[in-house]
Amino acid sequence: MGRKYARESTMKLLYQMEINSDFSEKSVNIFFENNDFNKEEKAYIEDAINTILDNIDLIDSYIEQNIQGWGIHRLARIDLSTLRIAIYEMLYRDDIPIEVSINEAIEIAKKYSTIESAKFINGVLGGFVKSRDNI
C-alpha cells in the first residue's frame, strides 16, 4: 500500500499511544503484531515512531510556536499526532518533499478529523515552514 498507508498507520499508533499514555516498545510491538505491513511500511513506521518519541519535546515546541493562543494540551489528539508526523518528515526526512508532508497531513485530517482541523493543520505547518525559512 505504500507510504500513505504507513503514514496513516503511524498516526493511528501515535494516537493510540497518546490516548493510553503508553509510549512503550511493547505497545509498538503489539501494534505490529495486530497489523500487516510490508518491509518498507514497517521501516517507515519504526523510524517515525522512534524519531518522534526521541525528539518529542523539540517537535512539540515547533507545534506550540505555531498555534497562537492555544496550548498543545488543547489540540485534538488526532490532530496532534498528524502534526507530529508532518514535522518529523520535514525535519528528519530529506527524501520527502515538504509539500508532500503538508498535503498528506491535510488529507489525514480530512479523513480522520474535520475540515476545520485540516485548515488548522495547514496553517500550523505553513507557519512552521515560514519560521524555518527565516532561520
State residue 65's pLDDT score: 93
Q: How many whole angstroms separate alpha carbon 131 and alpha carbon 65? A: 9
State residue 134's pLDDT score: 62
State residue 69's pLDDT score: 79
Averages of pLDDT over runs of 10 residues in the chain (135 residues) are 93 97 96 96 98 98 90 94 98 97 98 96 96 71
Domains of the chain, first to last: 3-133 (1.10.940.10)
State residue 70's pLDDT score: 80
